[in-house]
Amino acid sequence: MAQVALRNIVKMFDKTPAVQGIDLDIADREFIVLVGPSGCGKSTTLRMIAGLEEATSGEIYIGDQLVNDVPPKDRDIAMVFQNYALYPHMTVYENMSFGLRLKKFPKQEIKQRVEAAAQILDITNLLDRRPKALSGGQRQRVAMGRAIVRNPKVFLFDEPLSNLDAKLRVQMRTEIKKVHQKVTTTTVYVTHDQVEAMTLADRVVVMNAGRIEQIGPPNELYHNPKTRFVAGFIGSPAMNFLPARIVNGGSNLAIRLSEKLSLPVPESRTARYKPYIDKEIVFGLRPEDIIEKRGAVPPGSAAFDVQLDVVEPMGMETMVYFIVDGIEVCGRVNPTAAKEAGENMDLVADMTHMHLIDPATDQVI
């Protein structure tokens, strides 16, 4: 087992920056997920840790060893790829044991390691099959098994679930989490899917345009984003953003969203927002914080009425969309309370969960 440290890592492709001076400390046995949109530098960062890409500048440590000039085969890492990379002419057993056989491990030790990994992944009955006789999920398990048998210092996962259908991805997420609980190896996992990041990670690293926007446990990123990018990227459906102005509404402040709609600021936030009175800001609120009115309005919440534009039944919940000053806003309501498109509905916004963003810096206030 080992910790991983990146120190001011820069990667340039010709004159194009892919990674721009990132610093990251990954603790021993930690499960870290790098998440962000395509082209943000997450896979490039992973490949630099693996040694498949050379850093333009900066230092990479695995344990106490500086590995910038160490070839991939000597870094004691195991990588699971998006496309599985299994040998089609080999059985599952032969695929899983291939790396150990190359390193001349004793046959009995190879057998023990493969059988132990197969038991963890529930593929013992597949050891004699070839990849063409396996489903996508089974192939991914074999690819994970090939990494597990090596007992490396670090596991690296490069979007391993991208090729699977939606149902199988959910199932494999659970499997990967179970495996990490049993084989507590330091893990760096790359994905563009924020749901994967939230469900798997001890800590999430949100990347954007080659930089780290924020690092933290999933719940911290969800409830306390530091930037508009993180607030909008983490969470599904995404956070609603509306241009607004803070106005002095007598004893309390209010968020003016349009000529017809202003929402009161909770008293606990008044001191924080006073310096921004009469300034243009961006108001952010997640769809789950806009619900149907249920009797008396709780403290810190604000009731308002809107005409619904679109209604999407989802089974256990219904998404309702309405327009505020030309911008579409999404709320999540109980299916039994939802009205039809074109009808008016009384909604309640939980203002204790709102975020205000400075449009000049995109930082959360």
Check if CATH label 2.60.60.20 holds for domain 240-364: no
Give the pLDDT mean for 161-185: 83
Give the pLDDT mean for 100-107: 90
Task: Give the residue, 294 or 49, on which the prediction is more confident.
Answer: 49
CB 327 within 8 A of CB 239: no
Rounded CA gap, 307 and 328, in Å?
12
Question: Range with the lowest mean pLDDT among 218-232, 244-258, 304-318, 327-341?
Answer: 244-258
Rounded CA gap, 155 and 150, in Å?
10
Give the pLDDT mean for 9-15: 92
The terminus-to-terminus CA distance of the chain in angstroms comes to 40
Count of CB atoms within 10 A of residue 182's CB?
10
Closest CA to 346 of 331, 358, 357, 361: 331
Q: Provide the residue ranges of all domains of the chain, joining segments of one domain with +.
A: 4-233, 240-364
Q: How high is the pLDDT of residue 84? A: 79
Question: Range with the lowest mean pLDDT among 115-129, 170-184, 348-362?
Answer: 170-184
In the predicted model, what is the mean pLDDT of the chain?
A: 91
Task: Give the residue, 299 or 84, on which the prediction is more confident.
Answer: 299
pLDDT in tens, 339-352: 899 999 999 999 99
Q: How confident is the model at residue 169 (pLDDT cuts 50, 70, 90)?
A: confident
Q: How high is the pLDDT of residue 259? A: 87
Q: How high is the pLDDT of residue 250? A: 67
Count of CB atoms within 10 A of residue 59's CB?
13
Q: How high is the pLDDT of residue 144? A: 86
Q: How high is the pLDDT of residue 1? A: 61
pLDDT at residue 12 greater than cutoff 80: yes
Q: How high is the pLDDT of residue 136? A: 83
Class level of CATH domain 4-233: alpha beta
Both tokens assigned to 118: 């197969």
Rounded to the nearest 5°, which phi and psi values hold at 263?
-120, 135
Give the pLDDT mean for 149-157: 90
DSSP 8-state code for residue 221: H
pLDDT in tens, 258-306: 888 999 999 888 888 988 898 999 999 999 999 999 888 888 899 999 9
pLDDT at residue 256 greater than cutoff 70: yes
